[in-house]
Amino acid sequence: MSFPDDVGWDSRLDGAELLLVLVRSGYSKEYLLFYNFNMSQTERIFYILDLLMGRGSFTRKEVARHFDVSEKQIWRDKEYLRDRCPLSCGNLDIVYDNAKKAYVLTSESRDALTRWRAATSLGIVRDKESGNAKISSSSSMVLSDASYITYKSYASESFSPSVYDRIMTAMREKRRILLCYPSSKKHPKRVVEPLRLINYGEIWYLVASVDDAILTYSLSRISDVSVLDERVAFSDYERLEKLLDGYGIYSDDNERREYVIRFYSWAIAIVSNQVWQKDQKLRLLEDGRVLEMRIPVSNHTELLSRILFYGDAAEPVSPEDFVDEYRRKCMLMAGRYERV
């Protein structure tokens, strides 16, 4: 960061103290807006994070010496991470370890920071592989991690950029849209109220209100969109958030029911480490030979296909109508192979 040549300043001053020097030197507030004092703090913050993610500790003295600032400034940086951390991992609980004579993270904060590190590294890789090779983090640890990560999506669907752009415009302006959805024989064209876009497994979906129902449309199947002058009337966003919090992409207004599925053999090790829905319950039965999952679901369309993925290593137990549908699917598949 450069400073006006006619300002005498001490490099050990922190941002607030330096600002005071510039103000006393006669520089206007408009002029000072060109100087980004937060940039130096950002560099210090990421340096501290790199030390915490690397060796697990830091001292105020070493960071102050590295940036040629006061230890008091590093104390404020530490407090900033503790009380107003801007990262998605949330505030970090940094404590002083008397044995190490250095600052360390509590185990809970260290886990949260590691999850942020993994997610941010993956984001950099995804940006690079999509042709958007921007650097979204100043953490050297994150950039190093990204060089060892390969991102693969099990599926992706192309969509019209103009459709995406018009939907976003309509949502920002709270206007209805005329949707062209050729794959729907009943409603190939329909006026809907766009509420949210969801990226689910690298596939985009539009959640929209239609005649008091909330429906989900695949963005790749929307051939055209016209933004109308009519205003969106939908206002029950608590209902919307409840639906979005449900299992899978096909959540609806139906009452959530508890579904019971049992897993065997190789599926136990996989499912026991997965969270399908935040309110699910897992327990081992028969001395660990069976894993039982209880999960609240309003629409079981996706749940059915997910269980079928596990073949004979999974079976539904309840509700009865779900078990019957699962059995019919299995019989149809078996019948197809018997005809070959």
Average pLDDT over residues 255-265: 94
Average pLDDT over residues 150-160: 83
Asked if the bond preceding 182 is cis, omega within 30° of 0, the reply is no
Quick: pLDDT tens for 9-42.
343 444 444 445 444 545 444 444 434 445 588 8
Q: Give 202 or 116, the one with higher predicted confidence.
A: 116
> DSSP labels for 117-172?
HHHHHHHHHHHHHTT--------HHHHHHHTT-----S------HHHHHHHHHHHH
Domain boundaries of the chain, sorted by first residue: 36-152, 161-244, 257-339
- Give yes or no for a contact between 272 and 266, defined as CB atoms under 8 angstroms apart: no
Average pLDDT over residues 280-294: 95
Quick: pLDDT tens for 171-187.
999 999 999 999 988 99
Banded model confidence at residue 132, pLDDT cuts 50, 70, 90:
low
**Quick check: helix, strand or coil at residue 54?**
helix
In this prediction, residue 265 carries a pLDDT of 95
Q: How far is CA 280 from CA 238, 253, 304, in A?
A: 22, 19, 16
- Report the distance separating Cα 313 and Cα 306, nearest Å: 12
Q: Which fold has domain 257-339?
A: Alpha-Beta Plaits (3.30.70)
Spatial CA neighbour of 176 closest among 152, 154, 194: 194
Spatial CA neighbour of 205 closest among 220, 190, 188: 220
Q: Which of 74-88, 241-255, 283-297 has the highest mean pLDDT?
A: 283-297
Question: What is the assigned CATH class of domain 36-152?
Answer: mainly alpha
Q: SS3 helix, strand, coil % of the chain, rounded to 5?
A: 45, 20, 35
Domain 161-244 has CATH 2.30.30: yes
Quick: pLDDT tens for 314-339.
999 999 999 999 999 999 988 888 76
Banded model confidence at residue 133, pLDDT cuts 50, 70, 90:
low
Pairing of strands 203-210, 213-218: antiparallel
Q: How far is CA 224 from CA 165, 229, 251, in A?
A: 11, 17, 25
**Quick check: helix, strand or coil at residue 282?**
strand
Average pLDDT over residues 189-207: 91
